[in-house]
Amino acid sequence: MHIVQQILFALALAAAAVIITRRVKYIASAINLGRPEDRSGNAAERFQVMLLVAFGQKKMFTNLTVALMHLVIYLGFVIINLEILEIIIDGLLGTHRVFAPYIAPVYPFLINVFEVLAFGVLAVCVVFLSRRYLTRVPRLQADNHEEMRPRWPRLDATLILVFEIVLMIAFLTWNASDSVLRDRGVGYYGDLKGVVPDFLISQYLKPLFTGLSDTALVAYERFSWWFHILGILFFAAYVTYSKHLHIGLAFPNVYFSDLQPKGEMKNMPSITKEVQLALGIQPDANSPETVEADGSQPNENGEQPSDIGRFGAKDVPDLSWVDVMGAFSCTQCGRCTAACPANITGKKLSPRKIMMDTRWRAEEIINNRQQHGADYDDGKSLLGDYTTVEEINACTTCQACVNACPVNINPLNIILQMRRFKVMEDAQAPASWNAMFSNVENNMAPWKFSPSDRFNWAAQVNEPVSK
């Protein structure tokens, strides 16, 4: 019987590994749709930012209660999953609590920590479900946001929370049934009697199992053990399809995030080069004016990455790979949209939708290429078929969405790239924008007055105020 279980377990482990590996390759292909961009510099600073923001969840602590709940879930899953190592060894070797005899003095302490965290995860998931369906947090409701109206985003979040609750229940009841079998001295369970005591949380669940026969109890213990480990393997595979992909991608996304001060927009070196040539200035490839703001260098043809193709971005391949990775890292929490002044005042713009659109379009492109070949063109694009001009023109570039994101995603950069495309490639901009462009070009200011009059306002600064 043990041999059959070991074979089944090995097959389940292999199946999960194959599915996860394929999904990782799929996601990597989608991210690599973006243009090259060098983010390898400032490694020490990037690592520090990653520790604070991704691991320490620094930006979540603007709301202490919610931050602590997220921290419980995060630490719970990270630490509880350490126990998976023992389960995997038990499954492959046919043993039972293989570590217990070797680390007997600390084993009960470790399992007690796991149980406390499991109970915390269970409780927090119940609270989060209540926030979603009872207190109805506005940023999570389909009634308020177009991107949340499709069934999948709402179902995805619910499935994850319910699944986490069920997994934690399976873990705690498994420990409880195992304790009862150990007390009765049944089979190999009894070998650990006196070595492994009752655990902190599951001991209160033991009365649920004391009335069961040994056969029924063994059946439930095996069921809960299998359900727990298979559930974790399923969860690991499911996450690669879910918005909860940020569990893994948050770390690289924060590490490679932009270190420039918020509010500093990247110039377009190709445009700078054209202006210099028009003025009779030979561009210096190593000068700050012709090097990307992130420090990337020209390629072998002397071109910056942004020189290749079109100005701005119409579709996902026109964006940077960092932008595409941000779309796959997005947890759709809506904090960016809740902070967006354009959205608050009733404009159509939702930074969360921009990121969701980018991910959906990237997946569509990869799916088309897998089915029809790398050169297949479906005639669609991110701008137009997913995101509208009305949305991107509503952005005030205030950086509120960038500051609000818990994992340093930058929706603004995608918006700016699409606006640049509309203005520079399609020559389409609101009339008020064209007037501003003309004033900047002719008067070096957005307003229509002579450059010599720019500082006339300062003449009145020291004038006495009339009473």
Higher per-residue confidence, 247 vs 366: 366
Q: Are residues 438 and 326 in the same domain?
A: yes
pLDDT at 294: 40
Task: Tell which of 232, 255, 278 closes a domain.
Answer: 255
The encoded tokens of residue 202 equal: 């599951």
Share of the chain above pLDDT 90, in %: 55
The answer to whether the CB of 172 falls within 8 A of the CB of 115 is yes
The verdict on residue 261 lying in a domain is no
Q: Are residues 314 and 344 in the same domain?
A: yes
Task: Tell which of 255, 283, 318 closes a domain.
Answer: 255
CA distance 392 to 52: 31
Q: Are residues 281 and 235 in the same domain?
A: no
The verdict on residue 53 lying in a domain is no
pLDDT at 120: 92
Q: Are residues 235 and 289 in the same domain?
A: no
Domain that includes residue 277, residue range: 269-443
DSSP 122-157: HHHHHHHHHHHHTS--GGG-TTT-GGG-SHHHHHHH
Q: Which of 12, 137, 16 is nearest to 65 (CA)?
A: 137
pLDDT at 150: 84
CB neighbour class for 464 (10 Å; exposed up to 12, middle 13-18, buried from 19):
exposed
The verdict on residue 390 lying in a domain is yes
Confidence of residue 465 (pLDDT cuts 50, 70, 90): low
Q: Are residues 221 and 312 in the same domain?
A: no
The model's pTM is 0.84
User: What CATH number is attached to the domain comprising 304?
Assistant: 1.10.1060
Q: Are residues 357 and 222 in the same domain?
A: no
Q: Are residues 352 and 287 in the same domain?
A: yes
Q: Are residues 237 and 126 in the same domain?
A: yes
Q: Are residues 320 and 419 in the same domain?
A: yes
Q: Are residues 231 and 360 in the same domain?
A: no
At 378 the three-state DSSP class reads coil
CA distance 415 to 394: 10
The count of domains in the chain is 2
The verdict on residue 40 lying in a domain is no
Helix ranges (DSSP H) in 134-245 = 151-184, 214-239
Confidence of residue 292 (pLDDT cuts 50, 70, 90): very low
Q: Which residues face 35 on adjacent strands?
A: 320
Q: At what angle do helices 411-424 and 321-329 cross, to 10 degrees?
A: 130
Q: Are residues 248 and 369 in the same domain?
A: no
The encoded tokens of residue 140 equal: 């999570």
For 435-458, what is each residue's pLDDT tens digit?
A: 888 888 787 778 877 777 777 777
At 241 the three-state DSSP class reads coil
119, 124, 142, 334 from 180: Cα distances, Å? 20, 28, 46, 45
What's the length of the chain?
Answer: 467
CA distance 426 to 392: 15
For 217-274, what is each residue's pLDDT tens digit?
A: 999 999 999 999 999 999 999 999 998 898 889 999 999 998 887 777 777 777 777 7
Residue 371 pLDDT exceeds 80: yes
Centroid of chain to Cα 193: 44
